[in-house]
Amino acid sequence: MKHNKKKNTGKGIDSFIESHNRRLTTHVYQEKNTDTKPQTDIREGQEIKVRIKAIGAKGDGIGKYKEFTVIVANTKVNDDVDVIVEKITSTNLVFARIK
């Protein structure tokens, strides 16, 4: 007597894994911080000191302050400048002007 066993195609487990991954992804996105600006002690109008490390495509100086990338016009590489923060974006980008 032959037993008619269905061949396991793995379709069930693939479906389960895909469903599980979708739930995990949804959960991760829901856990993210929904604030538009990064959580730090920097604020618009604040004076900070920045060393210019590079020049951008438009000729502006690019430096770092903590986790922020700071864009300052009229500077050159290795300038240490005191700047005033004008705008902070949600992507950790700061636009500043020389004090």
pLDDT category at 77 given cuts 50, 70, 90 is very high
The DSSP symbol for 73 reads S
pLDDT category at 26 given cuts 50, 70, 90 is very low
Residue 67 has pLDDT above 60, yes or no: yes
- CATH fold group of domain 47-98: OB fold (Dihydrolipoamide Acetyltransferase, E2P) (2.40.50)
- Start-to-end CA span in the chain (Å): 92
Name the 3-class secondary structure at 24: helix
Query: Residue 23's CB: how many other CB atoms inside 10 A?
Result: 10
Q: Looking at this protein, which amino acid is placed at residue 44?
A: E
pLDDT category at 23 given cuts 50, 70, 90 is low
Residue 4 buriedness (CB in 10 A; 0-12 / 13-18 / 19+): exposed
- pLDDT for 41 equals 78
